[in-house]
Chains A and B, each alone.
Chain A
Amino acid sequence: MSETKNKVKVHVEKVNKSYGENHVLRDISLDIAENEVVVMIGPSGSGKSTFLRMLNQLETPDNGTIVVDGFDISEKTTDINKVRENIGMVFQNFNLFNNYTVLENIMLAPVELGKLDKVAAEKKARELLETVDLVDKADVSVNSLSGGQKQRIAIARALAMEPDVMLFDEPTSALDPEMVGDVLEVMKNLAESGMTMIIVTHEMGFAKQVADRVVFFESGKIQESGTPDQVFNAPKNERLQEFLSKVMHA
């Protein structure tokens, strides 16, 4: 599935992060190309979510460099709000705005940030609802939705800003099993459309199917990375082997 290697979209160099004594990220370096789909796997507490949240500055690194789309976001002078407009994020707990309807959730950012006027934003929102197959939910309160529906709306909300990069932080972990498929389907379509995606997940089947590259985190370090075939079928790292033997037979 991997296309020709394009320019570097995300550049991470020697990033460290500690919470007190706890050194959660140790000297991480990673480059992600345009249109690439990177899936990050690893045990809980391995640092993969912290790493993902650093890419849009929800967490700040102690040191090191992070460049997204040519903007050095580890630099204090960078307007982080401007950079974030171009990075969509989907959360484990959806985080839909409880004080707005589905349509208003999707329209909020484009309208507030002056990207679209209200009419254009609503048109765009309805189109996005179609792509996540939830057109009939446009005017309902978000609290009436199921988890799977909420997560698809959350994806639509992130896409409304037409970002170049999408970050997914365990998007299916809080879902009932029968809801997972719908969300993964939407993500798969997105990957096929050429979106640059960085995904933290425990869905190994999905990783195998969609990822261009799989990165294995453990103890705050990238222990191994490669194509799905390399990582899942011929793991070299001992901890990766151990991790896979646990999750694949779970």
Chain B
Amino acid sequence: MKKTVKLLIVGLLSLLVFVITSSDVDAAPTPNYIITTDATYPPFDFQDKNNQYTGIDQEILKTIAKRQGFTYTLKPMSFNAATQSVSSGQADGVIAGMSITEERKAVFDFGTPYYRSGIGWAVKKGSNIKSLDDLKGQTVALKTGTSGADYALSVQKKYGFKVTYFNDSDTLYNDVINGNSQATFGDLPVIQYAVKNGTQLKVMNSKSPIQAGWYGFGVQKGKNTKLLTAFNRGFAEIKKDGTYDKIVAKYLGASATKFTGSKQDNSSVLGILKANNGAFLKGLWQTMLLTILAIILASIWGILLGVMGVSQNALFRGISTTIIYIFRGLPLMVLAFFIYIGLPGVIGMKIPAFTAGLLTLVLNEGAYTAAFVRGGFAAVDSGQMEASRSLGLSYAKSMRKVIVPQGLKIMIPSFINQFIITLKDTSILSAIGILELTQTGSLIVSRNSQGFRVWAIVAVIYLIVITLLTWLSNWVEKRTRA
């Protein structure tokens, strides 16, 4: 039994080492920029049927990079996280159909404006809302951090509507289609593209965009002038030789199936699975990797904190209680944003999304683990410690040889429960752009609009993995009982 556990630990640790070193190997040579985007934003930024990032923005960027001789790593995440990553220095640039506004100019330096856009508003097809005045008392769905949202807020009082917020476009559109909200404001070309591709919305002002303005490529203010210069030089070139017009025409003139895949591939679960099996597998692998590493590290950290929590030393007990209190009290997503977006600005160092996500999980799940570990040790009869100490064993040795093994046995059901929670919590990390299973689902839905089928697939995959995890845990539990 002991040998099995040791083997298991050695195996998992070598996996950890493999993961860390292999990601080092993947790192491309300099100058390599980190560019963020929001890949649920067709026709500017989205995943095509082969799960490649594409769109007007992406094609512009790709072409410019090639011609100007720089490389970049694309980090898709929510629009808000994408812009904040750049303003905090986590990423070098953002291209995400971002309107150039006075407010944003205070935080970003923008490249040459590359696309003229404006705000449009849309309602469900067949809705009896005819003008903005009809919105009185209705709910309007907005995407966080967008200029569409800013505009809606500026006229909210005038028209008397309520607002609700979303982080990705597809969920937002579905909210309007399902009738939870009655209208939405957003970038006109984006809504038009969605409608063209079958989203059951009606654009109300296709001829007269509100607050017409320009999209820009943004970098952190005062930084990365080299990248900005290269972008501008490249942009001038593609504008001049007609490449730019070709790109725009390609996306705005394309038929729906060109990028989203054939109807056949999208209208059945089997078709979706077949068309995206690579993406699902990659997402699942990220989810599993995060889960396994988080389970191991959070367990180690939690046991350490738990042992400190039953220590004879009041200082250790105090530290343990404080750490548990803080990290059990913080919502996982707040912690993730704090570490990924907040911390780098203070410590002046980039934290990769995966590392930030893993750290978030370890701190959060570790605090929960510590709480039940502390309780489990306290539940071991105090006579066991007295007997061990009376034989001459030190406190540390008594803990290791007598209390910890018995306490761990008491805690096994809590551990299994925590493992399952950890697996589910990884989905929250999609918010900082980790391309795990949930984020993979978001991207596929934003392309093919098959919310029900795609989320059903994702749900079933989670259930299968959780079932396997539960079986494995129960098997281990039985082995330790024997």
Chain B residues whose CB sits within 8 angstroms of the CB of A108 once the complex forms: 391, 393, 401
- Asked if B383 is at the interface of the complex by the 8 Å CB criterion, the answer is yes
Given contacts A99-B402, A108-B401, A112-B397, contact A84 B387 (CB under 8 A): no
- Asked if A247 is at the interface of the complex by the 8 Å CB criterion, the answer is no
* Distance in Å: Cβ of B270 to nearest Cβ of chain A: 51
- Asked if A116 is at the interface of the complex by the 8 Å CB criterion, the answer is no
Please report which residues of chain B, range 381-425, place their CB below 8 angstroms from some CB of chain A when the two chains form the complex. Answer: 381, 383-384, 386-394, 397, 401-402, 405-406, 409
Q: Which residue of A lies closest to B407 (CB)?
A: A99
User: Once the chains bind, are A113 and B392 in contact (CB under 8 Å)?
Assistant: yes
1/0 per residue A79-101: CB within 8 Å of B? 00111111111010101111100
User: Once the chains bind, are B383 and A97 in contact (CB under 8 Å)?
Assistant: no
User: Once the chains bind, are A109 and B383 in contact (CB under 8 Å)?
Assistant: no
User: Once the chains bind, are A98 and B391 in contact (CB under 8 Å)?
Assistant: no
Given contacts A97-B402, A99-B402, A99-B409, contact A161 B391 (CB under 8 A): yes
A158 to B389, CA, bound (A): 11
A30 to B383, CA, bound (A): 27
- Asked if A157 is at the interface of the complex by the 8 Å CB criterion, the answer is yes
Interface residue from A84, A88, A96, A154 paired with B389 (Cβ < 8 Å): A84
User: Once the chains bind, are B386 and A58 in contact (CB under 8 Å)?
Assistant: yes
User: Once the chains bind, are B405 and A99 in contact (CB under 8 Å)?
Assistant: yes
A132 to B235, CA, bound (A): 92
A77 to B387, CA, bound (A): 22
A85 to B394, CA, bound (A): 11
Chain A residues whose CB sits within 8 angstroms of the CB of B401 once the complex forms: 108, 112
Chain B residues whose CB sits within 8 angstroms of the CB of A87 once the complex forms: 390
Chain A residues whose CB sits within 8 angstroms of the CB of B402 once the complex forms: 97, 99
* Distance in Å: Cβ of A164 to nearest Cβ of chain B: 13
The residue among B384, B392, B401 with the most chain A CB atoms within 10 A of its own CB is: B392
Interface residue from B389, B392, B405, B409 paired with A161 (Cβ < 8 Å): B392
A221 to B173, CA, bound (A): 84
User: Once the chains bind, are A98 and B390 in contact (CB under 8 Å)?
Assistant: no
User: Once the chains bind, are A95 and B392 in contact (CB under 8 Å)?
Assistant: no
User: Once the chains bind, are A109 and B393 in contact (CB under 8 Å)?
Assistant: yes
Chain A residues whose CB sits within 8 angstroms of the CB of B384 once the complex forms: 95, 97-98
User: Once the chains bind, are A84 and B391 in contact (CB under 8 Å)?
Assistant: yes
* Distance in Å: Cβ of A158 to nearest Cβ of chain B: 7
User: Once the chains bind, are A58 and B393 in contact (CB under 8 Å)?
Assistant: no
Q: Which residue of B lies closest to A56 (CB)?
A: B390
A88 to B384, CA, bound (A): 15
User: Once the chains bind, are B386 and A157 in contact (CB under 8 Å)?
Assistant: no
User: Once the chains bind, are B393 and A81 in contact (CB under 8 Å)?
Assistant: yes
Chain A residues whose CB sits within 8 angstroms of the CB of B390 once the complex forms: 56, 58, 84, 87-89, 158
User: Once the chains bind, are A84 and B383 in contact (CB under 8 Å)?
Assistant: no
User: Once the chains bind, are B381 and A95 in contact (CB under 8 Å)?
Assistant: yes
Chain B residues whose CB sits within 8 angstroms of the CB of A97 once the complex forms: 384, 387-388, 402, 406
* Distance in Å: Cβ of A174 to nearest Cβ of chain B: 11
Chain B residues whose CB sits within 8 angstroms of the CB of A91 once the complex forms: 383, 386-387
User: Once the chains bind, are A112 and B393 in contact (CB under 8 Å)?
Assistant: yes
Chain A residues whose CB sits within 8 angstroms of the CB of B397 once the complex forms: 112
User: Once the chains bind, are A158 and B391 in contact (CB under 8 Å)?
Assistant: yes
Q: Which residue of B lies closest to A96 (CB)?
A: B387
A158 to B383, CA, bound (A): 14
Interface residue from B381, B392, B409 paired with A85 (Cβ < 8 Å): B392
Q: Which residue of A lies closest to B395 (CB)?
A: A81
User: Once the chains bind, are A95 and B391 in contact (CB under 8 Å)?
Assistant: no
User: Once the chains bind, are B409 and A81 in contact (CB under 8 Å)?
Assistant: no
Q: Which residue of B lies closest to A154 (CB)?
A: B387
Given contacts A108-B401, A112-B401, contact A84 B388 (CB under 8 A): no
User: Once the chains bind, are A82 and B392 in contact (CB under 8 Å)?
Assistant: yes
A97 to B406, CA, bound (A): 9
Given contacts A95-B381, A99-B402, contact A113 B386 (CB under 8 A): no
Chain B residues whose CB sits within 8 angstroms of the CB of A93 once the complex forms: 383
A41 to B204, CA, bound (A): 96
* Distance in Å: Cβ of A159 to nearest Cβ of chain B: 11
Chain B residues whose CB sits within 8 angstroms of the CB of A56 once the complex forms: 390
* Distance in Å: Cβ of B376 to nearest Cβ of chain A: 13
A56 to B393, CA, bound (A): 13
1/0 per residue B250-284: CB within 8 Å of A? 00000000000000000000000000000000000
1/0 per residue A147-163: CB within 8 Å of B? 00000001001100100
A158 to B381, CA, bound (A): 19
A158 to B390, CA, bound (A): 9
A81 to B393, CA, bound (A): 6
1/0 per residue A52-75: CB within 8 Å of B? 000010100000000000000000
A44 to B133, CA, bound (A): 86
Given contacts A91-B386, A97-B402, contact A157 B391 (CB under 8 A): yes
Chain A residues whose CB sits within 8 angstroms of the CB of B387 once the complex forms: 89, 91, 95-97, 154
Chain B residues whose CB sits within 8 angstroms of the CB of A98 once the complex forms: 384, 406
* Contacts A82-B392, A91-B387, A98-B384 known; 13 new A-B pairs at CB < 8 A: A58-B389, A88-B390, A89-B390, A95-B384, A97-B384, A97-B387, A97-B388, A99-B406, A108-B391, A109-B391, A109-B393, A113-B391, A113-B392
Can you show 18 pairs from A to B with CB atoms below 8 A apart? A56-B390, A58-B390, A81-B393, A83-B392, A85-B391, A88-B391, A89-B390, A91-B386, A93-B383, A95-B384, A95-B387, A96-B387, A97-B402, A98-B406, A99-B409, A108-B391, A109-B393, A113-B393
Identify the 5 closest CB pairs spanning chains A and B, nearest first: A85-B392, A95-B387, A95-B383, A109-B391, A89-B390
